[in-house]
Amino acid sequence: MKTCKIESRTCSFPVTVVLVVLCLLLVLVMSDQSFETVNTTSSWSSNGMLLYSPRSGKSIPGKKWTDKLLAPFRSFMGARAYDPWRYFMSVKRRQVNERRSLSSPSGFYSSSIPAEFDARLRWPNCPTIGEIFEQGSCASCWAVAPTDVMSDRICIHSGSRHIVRLSAGNLLSCCKLCGKGCKGGFPGGAWMHWSKHGIVTGGSYSSDYGCQKYQFFPCYQPRTKGSIKNKCPKTDNTLLECRETCRTSYNKSYKQDLYYGESVYRIPNDARAIQLEIMENGPVQANLRIYEDFLHYKFGVYRHVHGQGLEYHAVKIFGWGTEGGTPYWLAANPWSKRWGNGGFFKILRGSNHAEIEDHVMAGIPKLDLVDEEEHFNLI
């Protein structure tokens, strides 16, 4: 059998094939770690990357990005659906088919887009739009962000007749299409669950509102300036047992309390399409790639500068504007009110920055059943 070494010139064809394969593998690896090129000098040191504030331009002396420092943040990130490697390794066939059934709306609306828009001001009688629901130590952003948007849209499409908060805890426990509970999930599955099975109402851990409250108390673990000092407990997935009953003091049955989606869909990767959807129907749910510098965002328009990509994370987009000539999306992050600007942040708009425009989802609530139920109760 003829053999050859890589450095041999007598077997150029096999060597070429090997080199091409190696190059392709290198491109795949590098593409997952690509960064935006920005001219900075103060954020790097000879012995590692410093913790860096992208807005103030100041590094945190003596701190480096390590697994120990990053670990507390990882529990807050759980949108697994669009990590290409995890997608192929984690999604079952049924989930793929369900996710593909998410479709874009049939048409968009011919209207001018204002330079600035804030859904909190457009629909002031819908208070959930401006709330930050804290997910705690459970990586449940895939459930919290969609239920935030669903709650907003129920209020908007009912003309403020139905001001409710759908239970992220109920979705977290009962969605069979959504992944691994507090270990991450699929936002697309959350939207499909709303449409097919419905979601009951429920407030935060300390709230007595609704049918089923959230199971995890607010906990912002990272030991940065301004963070609370209590340590987040270890998340226990045994708390995620699906129960089709409401708390004993609630005045509705589980089935009576269910809210459904009339339609669910994915918005095209186009800033104008996303803006028109928000103007017409309310906030939308988006996924973004989390980089290390995002963890310490405080104010201004976020633009990824330094650090490796970590996980994908689900957030709510509810507006846009321009700051210093830079277009931005206005969004809510369910980590904590202590993070960012009271839980809110601005991120570069129109260039799919951190992949935030790639997978934007929304839906229209089904309100006829709710109105019929209320009418029946009045008779």
Residues noted as catalytic: 141, 313, 333
Q: 3-state SS string over 28-61?
A: HHHHCCCCCCCCCCCCEECCEEEEECCCCCCEEE
β-pairing, 284-291 vs 326-332, is: unpaired
d(CA 105, CA 263): 9
CA angle 146, 152, 156 (to 5 degrees): 140
Strand partners, 354: none
Provide φ and ψ at 363, rounded to 5°.
Answer: -165, 165
Buried b / exposed e over 314-350, threshold 16 CB at 10 Å, is bbbbbbbbeeeeebbbbbbbbbbebbbeebbbbbbbb
Alpha carbon distance, N-terminus to C-terminus of the chain:
90
Query: How far is residue 244's CA from residue 161's CA, in Å, rounded to a whole number?
Result: 26
Q: How far apart are CA 319 and CA 330, in angstroms?
A: 5
Q: Cβ neighbours of residue 331 under 8 Å, at least 6 residues apart? A: 286, 315, 316, 317, 318, 344, 345, 346, 347, 356
Residues 99/90, Cβ–Cβ less than 8 Å = no
Q: Which amino acid is at 279?
A: M
